[in-house]
Amino acid sequence: MSKIQEEIKNRILVLDGAMGTMLQRYKFEEEDFRGERFKDFPHPLKGNNDLLSLTQPEAVKEVHRLYFQAGADIVETNTFSGTTIGMADYHMEDLVYELNFQSAKIAREVADEFTDKPRFVAGSIGPTNRTASMSPDVNDPGFRAVTFDDLKVAYRQQVEALIDGGCDLLLVETIFDTLNAKAALFAIEEVKEERNLDIPVMVSGTITDASGRTLSGQTVEAFLISISHIPLLSVGFNCALGADQLKPYLKELAHNTQLNISAHPNAGLPNAFGQYDQTPEEMQELIREYLQENLINIIGGCCGTTPDHIKLIAQVAKEFKPRTVEVVA
């Protein structure tokens, strides 16, 4: 049994908040993204946050450190777009292994600075910017921009680099198309088998609107069933919704699974300018409701959340025991 599997039995684990929200505070410009190494790169690089692990590693380290200091037990690597499919937008497919390896190494180094309690590094595996089960062309519903095999190959490279860099667990997150996630999980299982390795895996889907479905049309229960053949540390939801909007779907999840449950909601819904206005105090009270209703084992924040949010979430998490599942004989 891994250390995190032991810890999750004893307490509610706290995940970090948004990496992107924090990196935006640095107001990095094109030359900052490029650094010395990519100063002559022939394509624009501004906005490629994963690249900052190579060109601005101290900033990425500082974000991890602030989240750990706020009370996070788990930080996510700066690799949300770290596949060849995601990096194709920046013509940087050749850098994928290095980006993931260095991002994991950076997070591992910061985690090891903290010795007060076990700290963990989760390899962040995003959904890519393509969907395997829907056509991007309304005039050609049979067309697919990516295949299952394309995704599997891309995810496999990311997974190997994250493991090599020192991750304790893998987080397949922000899932809007379960077929994409299944490709990631297939790649993970392949690597685990080949390496004779049992690295814990978290899965976190995204409910995209008030219909209570993922973008590819699955309900909470359908999403759960379609990934239930994989051994998982936890299943949960993140992004798209704030803590209050997410709560009914977490209740449905809790009712239907004996797995650990995770949640990392946004800081409310975005305003007209795309900003997130929910204060740490407001979010803490909403998270308290999750805990009072015995819904979760892992709690953190997604878009708009900062170390201030995580600090108050960590404080309230200490007051409660982790979700337990009553096994009916």
Mind listing the pLDDT tens digit for each residue in 62-93? 999 999 999 999 999 999 999 999 999 999 99
Q: What is the per-residue pLDDT across 100-122, written as a single tens digit (0 to 9) for each? A: 999 999 999 999 999 999 999 99
Place of tokens 């989760």: 122
pLDDT at 329 over 50: no
Residue 328 pLDDT grade (very low, low, confident, very high; cuts 50, 70, 90) = very low
The verdict on residue 104 lying in a domain is yes
Token pair in block for residue 152: 């599997």
Task: Give me the amino acid identity at 234.
Answer: S
| CA distances, 78 to each of 37, 66, 90, 165 (Å) | 19, 14, 16, 12
Which residues contact residue 295 at a Cβ distance below 8 angstroms, ignoring those fewer than 6 apart? 247, 250, 251, 254, 261, 263, 323
Q: Tell me the pTM.
A: 0.95
The verdict on residue 222 lying in a domain is yes
pLDDT at 240 over 90: no
| Percent of the chain whose predicted confidence (pLDDT) is above 90 | 85
- For residues 172, 177, 179, 184, the Cα torsion angle rounded to the nearest 10 degrees is -20
The verdict on residue 323 lying in a domain is no
Range of the domain at 154: 3-318
Q: Order of strands, edge to edge, in the sheet holding 201-205?
A: 13-14, 298-299, 260-266, 234-242, 201-205, 169-175, 120-125, 74-76
The verdict on residue 328 lying in a domain is no
Is residue 27 exposed (0-12), middle (13-18) or buried (19+ Cβ within 10 Å)? exposed
Q: Is the dihedral of CA 129, 132, 137, 138 positive or negative?
A: negative
Report the domain count for the chain.
1
Residue 271 pLDDT grade (very low, low, confident, very high; cuts 50, 70, 90) = confident
CATH number at residue 192: 3.20.20.330
Q: What is the per-residue pLDDT across 3-59, written as a single tens digit (0 to 9) for each? A: 999 999 999 999 999 999 999 999 999 999 999 999 999 999 999 999 999 999 999
Known binding-site residue numbers for Zn(2+): 239, 302-303
Please state, rounded to an integer, the average pLDDT across all residues of the chain.
94
The verdict on residue 9 lying in a domain is yes
The verdict on residue 329 lying in a domain is no
> What is the phi/psi pair of residue 81, to 5°?
-110, 25
Token pair in block for residue 21: 């929200």
**Residue 83: strand pairing partners:** none
Known binding-site residue numbers: 239, 302-303
| Percent of the chain whose predicted confidence (pLDDT) is above 70 | 96
The DSSP symbol for 323 reads: P
The verdict on residue 78 lying in a domain is yes
Count CB-CB contacts under 10 A for residue 117. 9
The verdict on residue 233 lying in a domain is yes
Give 98 or 209, the one with higher predicted confidence: 98
